[in-house]
Amino acid sequence: MPTGAFQPTADYAEQLDQEDNLSRYREEFYTKPDSIYMDGNSLGLLSKRAERTLLESLADWREHGIDGWMHGAHPWFTLSERLGEMSAALVGASPEEVIVTGSTTVNLHQLAATFYRPQGDRSKILADELTFPSDIYALQSQLRLRGYDPETHLVRVKSRDGRFLEEEDIIAAMTDDIALIILPTVLYRSGQILDMKRLTEEAHKRGIPIGFDGCHSIGAIPHAFSEWGVDFAYWCNYKHLNGGPGAVASLYVNRKHFGTMPGLSGWFGSRKDKQFDMEHTLTPADAAGAYQIGTPHVLSLAPLIGSLEMFEEAGIDRIRRKSLHINHYLMDLIEHELGDFGFYIGSPREDERRGGHVSLEHPEAARICKALKQNGVIPDFRAPNIIRLAPVALYNSYSDVWEVIRILKRIMEEKQYEQFKNEREVVA
């Protein structure tokens, strides 16, 4: 990426765009000329390739009917496995360790039901207080199903400042009564990356299985799940991977656990050659496919085919390099242009600790987000005071970032936000 000294000018942003070796992918997405999309860490934009592969799958249904399971452009029977293979490089796994299936929370239920094995005094689950609420709801449910009280058996590591987690605090909580650990790869509010390698090593020293929620990291940063020995992981595919609203999610299971009976069984977890024998004894697949439950949602899988083609071409390392650089540029602009307006950057400044978005804190954040939308900028609000901005490597430009900060400065100078209530919309 460019190494020239930062300049807070439109010309400098244009220079960075000219030097961007991923800029051609912007034309692959449906962007609006009168809008700047900065919410790709909540829902990625539609690409022309994702649209094409969805329409191809519709055509398979139209042309082949039920024979689309085995014929057509994208046969449905093995589509989840095919997409798992296409995803494997993004998480540092072998193809058979990844399957595209279910939803994020359903996959967490599956993995917790499989890997949570309370014995004697070792019966608690370790999580953290900053994780996404759906994960907590699922873990509370799993504890109740086993007859445990979530108030006593779900341990949540505290944050020292409400923004970040310290790995030392997490490790200190890995006590003899912990039976399972579930942590985020990237904190959804601040964008902090946890040291997954270190945490996995420390968990395994104590004989505790550990899994990660990768919703805010997959497609934005490289991973090495297999090398690190991570036991399992799960993530959505509609954020950085641009799979579409409600896209089918993914899970990873380390090959050392192949052969472990799924905690929640269903017929799509069968070995493929046995699935239609209709026996009442499950013969699980001998890979991550065993952790599928029901029939895949084909039309919510199909856009991922085109999207993942782009990730294979661009490469996660190039994507990460641009993401780091454009987010650093965003933070430089914030500090240079918005210093008089009470903003605080609530994301790590160190590249190795920051994911794919920047959290900008302000007491009037909800009102400011509404003013940004009125001015054609699509941000993301997280209560009580966070504006999340996510310049996405494949479709956001440096000129986008420069324009966003120019608009935000004008909003603050003119106090445009004061016309709005400082409360979130129904969908924040």
Q: CB 18: neighbour CB atoms within 10 A?
A: 10
Q: Where are the beta strands (DSSP E) in 164-300?
A: 178-184, 210-213, 232-235, 250-253
Phi, then psi, of 350 in degrees rounded to 5: -70, 130
Q: Which helix (H) or strand (E) holds 99?
A: strand 98-100
Q: Binding residue per annotation — 238?
A: yes
Amino acid identity, position 155: V
Residue among 77, 126, 131 nearest 104 (CA): 131
Q: Binding residue per annotation — 132?
A: yes
Q: Binding residue per annotation — 94?
A: no
Q: Binding residue per annotation — 105?
A: yes
Q: Binding residue per annotation — 213?
A: yes
Sequence-ordered list of residues with C-beta below 8 angstroms from that of 360, at least 6 positions apart, any chain? 334, 343, 344, 345, 346, 386, 387, 388, 389
Between CA 370 and CA 380 the distance in angstroms is 10
Q: Binding residue per annotation — 31?
A: no
Q: Binding residue per annotation — 133?
A: yes
Between CA 254 and CA 93 the distance in angstroms is 8
Q: Binding residue per annotation — 30?
A: no
List the structure tokens of 307: 């999207």
Sequence-ordered list of residues with C-beta below 8 angstroms from that of 373, at least 6 positions apart, any chain? 379
Residue among 284, 217, 283, 227 nearest 254 (CA): 227
Residue among 216, 261, 171 nearest 382 (CA): 216
Q: Binding residue per annotation — 134?
A: yes
Q: Using omega within 30 degrees of 0 as the cis cutoff, is the peptide bond preceding 348 cis?
A: no
Q: Binding residue per annotation — 34?
A: no
Between CA 87 and CA 96 the distance in angstroms is 10
Q: DSSP assignment of 93-122, as one string? A: --GGGEEE-S-HHHHHHHHHHHH---BTTB
Q: Binding residue per annotation — 188?
A: no
Q: Which helix (H) or strand (E) holds 155?
A: strand 154-157
Which residues are annotated as part of the binding site?
A: 104-105, 132-135, 213, 216, 238, 267, 295
Which residues are annotated as part of the binding site for pyridoxal 5'-phosphate?
A: 104-105, 132-135, 213, 216, 238, 267, 295
